[in-house]
Amino acid sequence: MLPVTHDYLSSALGLRRASVTEVLIRFEEQRFIRKTRGMLQIDDRQWLEQKACSCYKLISGAYASSESVTINGSTN
């Protein structure tokens, strides 16, 4: 589960919030993800990685780093 909101995703991706919501609804209908208020669960990560742009690894690495900072309480 990823603690993200539609607002955060729209800001990070440079998209309108409504566009993010539309895409997430389509992904959920196709059973690639599940979403609840403030949380996103990826059910088919391999499919999502295949559909993502080449920047996927950069973004996932940055997210993992920020999560580590939150968990450890430091900025290494």
Per-residue model confidence as pLDDT tens digits over 53-65? 766 777 777 777 7
pTM here is 0.64
The predicted structure's pLDDT at residue 34: 94
CA–CA separation, 74 and 76 (whole Å): 6
Compare 3 and 61 and report the one with higher pLDDT.
3
Q: Mean per-residue pLDDT for 72-76?
A: 50
Is 2 strand, coil or helix? strand
The predicted structure's pLDDT at residue 73: 53
- What digits encode the pLDDT tens for the residues 11-47? 988 999 999 999 999 999 999 999 999 999 999 888 8
